[in-house]
Structure 1
Amino acid sequence: MNGDPFCYKSSVSFHFDERLMGSIQILVFCLLCFASSTYGYDPLDPNGNITIKWDVMHDDQNTQVVRVSIFNFQLFRHVEQPGWKLTWNWTGDEVIWDMTGAETTEQGNCSAFKSKQLPHCCDRQPVIVDLLPGAPFNKQVANCCKGGVLSSMTQNPSKYGASFQMTIGSFNASVNGTTGEALTGFPQNFSIGLPGYTCGEPLQVPPSKFIEDRGRRRTQALDTWNITCSYSQFRATPTPTCCVSLSAFYNDTIIPCPKCSCACQGQPTAKCINPGELPPVLQLHHNEEPQPVVRCTPHMCPIRIHWHVMLSYKQYWRVKLTITNLNFVKNYTDWNLVVLHPNLKKVTRVFSFNYKPINQYGALNDTGIFYGIEYYNDMLLQSGKTGNVQTELLLEKDTGWKFSFGEGWAFPRKISFNGEECVIPQPDYYPTLPNSGPFTAIALPLSLIVLIAFLAKRRNSNGVEEWDMPTLMMLLLAISLFMSKKGAQGRYLCSSTVVEPHELAEMLSNRYPGLLIPKKFNKSEDELFYDFNTSKLQALGFTFKSIPEVFTDCIPSLVEQGHLSLSPPPSSAESSN
């Protein structure tokens, strides 16, 4: 097929008459008039927001002691480094005399003060940042010093809040030495300093209460205000930041991310690095989010999620989920992935990821959040061989729905990474079922069943035999692939190695010049890799060959059996042409 396989042109056109166009203009005008510029809405987290709580703990005419708390009441969207930056505008002549648990980025002009101790900040619009972990003990307060990072409520409920305390006073009273000027105003124009967030007006609420002495005593603030900040992805970034590719065991076609999902190659703001090139040396600022430098791909996204329908059993089906980081300048700490699919209420097992359902609409359990295991894969490293994390899902076939692999039912309806919705291919391009009829279960010989039982059983710490599900699933997959080639004979061995398509193609081309090895991988994107993982079988005492040794026996055997034709290598004259 000629042309760019990732580019599609629509032949659909629309025609409007003048009356219909006028009605559309009126509707758009009404939507713009009634739309709020403050609040955002996410149907997967309709009540999510960041709340700033302002508690007045002490007030004595000229000074106030205020405790400020920031709570991330969002189910899956968290605050990453460099963290929050809280700002507001003073409405009076206030200054910040002292602050613990946080600090202002600028002290401001305090030259009017002639005392030995200057205020912590004299700016009319202070910018407050969280202290870093390991701050001096005398500068800490409870729930502080996380570098501005806030976890989501689902991933880590103990780290979704931050607090600091400050003493504020009157500028004129402090300079002139007068008394009796009470602080009656309240700050305005709050901002959390994060892309996509807009804060509303302060709202006075019932005073906060605090527990002391192990719950035996309760105290409360003098006054409390809440400021609610909502998120909008449209305000956060003009373009998406992730995309989804799809594949299935019943179709050889891999549906790539839509072209230009996040950017297009050649755009001035799109920086990318071709395979084989070294990334440039960049000077990154510790308090600013670095601009993405991604691998050159047709979609140009920093994050790619691949959803692969692996197998179908009698009562279950299996999915492999891979998240690949194509960004050379960023590691994603405490990443998460939210998936919308109607069969998620029947999740039986999730390997190597944490999983929690998100139930926002009663019994409708079709959304779940995946995130890494702490100290194992909770950090998605920058682009490279280790820049990916993957899991497998085992789902029970939902009898309440008409289960089918047809019409793209097995693919997700919506996916978001770190709270940002990803671009998914159009349903018209989903892998389709073959015309060969329904799938049938594979009948295994008795000898294979005995081998599976031997390899897939182990003894736990209590000495009781139990099934090793990952090994069992891996063996069943290998046997099913072997038996699908009914004419093939012999032993097929693997190597416990991770290899990219470019490396595999180069090795095969050098060793077997007669094989027609593709140089470019248009249907399967360059960043995919083949994982020949036999670590669990190696632990049982099996020895495996290297990848070149595997093909030493495999290629001639397939040629001899007639499954592969080996053309003679081109002559020197042909090569020169």
Structure 2
Amino acid sequence: MWACCKPDKSQKNKLKTKYLPRWKGDLTIIYDVLQVYKNDYLAQVTMENKNPSGRLDNWNLTWEWARGEFIYTMKGAYTHEMDITGCLYGLAGHYYKGMDFSKVMNCQKNPIIADMPPQKYNDTQMGKIPYCCRNGTLLPIIMDPSESKSVFQLQVYKVPPDLNKTALYPPEKWKTVGVMNPDYKCGSPLRVNATEYPNTEGLQANTIAIATWQIVCNITKPTKKDTYCCVSFSAYYNDSVIPCDTCACGCEDTKKCNPDATAMLLPSEALRVPLENRSEKAIAWAKIKHLRVPRKLPCGDNCRVSVNWHVVSDYKDGWTARITMFN
């Protein structure tokens, strides 16, 4: 369906400017513009984990500059690469001819930003930002509200034709990833009502941000990936090895094998034999140990890498294991 809307000129002077309300999501990101100048502005990014069970560790945040902006300095976070080549050979280098680009933090179109370690919190140049310097950890808000937020600031320089105080554009294509964390899908930045900050001097007054955008990220169902590794088990008290499951990494051709049959036990030396040559050893081992041999042999695991977990010894207080990886 579609609809065509035309502006009502008679109502033009009666409408008031009002931005969208803030949305709820698993991870919300606020992009506030705190100070503006002709060529640059100061922005603050606030990440809040509002999922009751989701947790981020060592988060990495990235976006895309749509209008040639670059990061001059940052506090509370840093970019993985201090790359200034994009400025030197681009429009920024042509316009800012007298700028010392060796002091610029990052000129990449898609910078990758990470949180500071806790040791940098009291650093006067890179720290001193509330809710910063937690090594990229965002706990669920119901676990600890004070540890569910991360904040950092950045000085953003603009390039022509956006050289005026009102030309403010947030980055696009936001994305956040971490270590052993859920997959997030972030929406586009939406202009919302400006954020209000309490007065830093203790007065009963609020400071309102110049402009505010919100980015909402929600946990998505991870896409199914092809398995390439499996685990086999063995022990000092058993002559046989429990191999990887049948079709552990998938089976494409099942005409000559049974993908539903249980994998046959193997002698320990068979783990070092290529997959296509293990059938003869499995049959010979079954005859020696008087094990049943299926009429249609089970398919192999088809894994490129396998790991063997071998129980070496067993004691009253614990046990030891040897782990071997086969490529």
Q: Give the TM-score normalised by the residue count of structure 1.
A: 0.33
Q: Deviations over 1:127-177 (max 9, x none)?
A: 11111120151111111111111111222221111010011112458xxxx
Partner of 2:131, secondary structure, is coil
Call closer, same or farther: CA 1:229–1:274 in 2, change over 3 Å.
same
Partner of 1:79: 56
Matches within 5 A, 1:390-409: none
Q: How far, CA to CA, are the matches of 1:55 and 1:271 in structure 2?
A: 49
**Cα distance change on mapping 1:225 and 1:179 into 2, 3 Å:** closer
121, 134, 154: which one pairs with 1:146? 134
| Separation of aligned partners in 2, 1:151 and 1:238 | 30
In 2, Cα distance between the equivalents of 1:123 and 1:85?
A: 15
User: Which structure 2 residues correspond to residues 251-330 of structure 1 after superposition, within 5 A?
Assistant: 266-268=301-303, 271-276=306-311
Shift of 1:181: 7.6
Partner of 1:53 in structure 2? 30
Which of 29, 48, 63 matches 2:40?
A: 63
Higher helix share: 1
Q: Report how far residue 179 of structure 1 moved.
A: 5.7
CA deviations 1:408-450 (Å, max 9, x no partner) are xxxxxxxxxxxxxxxxxxxxxxxxxxxxxxxxxxxxxxxxxxx
Q: How far does residue 100 in structure 1 lie from its aligned partner after superposition?
A: 0.4
Q: 2:69 aligns with which of 58, 71, 94?
A: 94
Q: What CA deviation, in whole Å up to 9, does each residue of 1:298-355 have, x standing for no partner?
A: xxxxxxxxxxxxxxxxxxxxxxxxxxxxxxxxxxxxxxxxxxxxxxxxxxxxxxxxxx
CA distance in 2: counterparts of 1:66 and 1:60, whole angstroms: 12
Residue 170 of structure 2 is matched in structure 1 by: 186
Partner SS for 1:134: helix
Does the alignment pair 1:169 with 2:157? Answer: yes
AA of the residue aligned to 1:57: L
Give yes or no for the alignment of 1:121 onto 2:113: no
Could you tell me how far 1:206 is from its partner in structure 2?
0.9
CA, structure 1 residues 120+171, in 2 after alignment: closer, same or farther (shift >3 Å)? farther
Cα distance change, pair 234–58 in 1 and its aligned pair in 2 (3 A) = same
Gaps of 5+ in 1: 1-46, 240-258, 279-384, 386-496, 504-577
What is the aligned length? 213
Query: Structure 2 vs 1, CA of residues 235 and 50 (structure 1 numbering), >3 Å: closer, same or farther?
Result: farther
Instruction: Tell me how far 1:63 sits from its aligned partner.
Output: 1.1
Contact 1:48 1:73 in 2 (8 A): yes
Residues 48, 75 of structure 1: 8 Å contact kept? no
Greater RCO between the two (CA within 8 Å, min separation 6)? 2
Cα displacement string for residues 31-70 of structure 1 (whole angstroms, at most 9, x for unaligned residues): xxxxxxxxxxxxxxxx651111101111122111100011
AA of the residue aligned to 1:232: T
Q: Tell me the secondary structure at the aligned position of residue 49 of structure 2.
A: strand
In structure 2, the partner of 1:316 is none
Given the superposition, is the C-alpha separation of residues 182 and 277 from structure 1 closer, same or farther in structure 2, using an over 3 Å criterion?
Answer: farther
1:137 maps to which residue? 123
Residue 158 of structure 1: aligned partner:
146
Q: Deviations over 1:206-245 (max 9, x none)?
A: 1111123457332121111110111123238678xxxxxx
The 2-side partners of 1:199 and 1:53 are apart by 12
Q: What's the CA shift for 1:268?
A: 2.6
- Could you tell me how far apart the structure 2 residues matched to 1:180 and 1:216 are? 32
With normalisation by structure 2, the TM-score equals 0.57
Seq. identity, %: 23
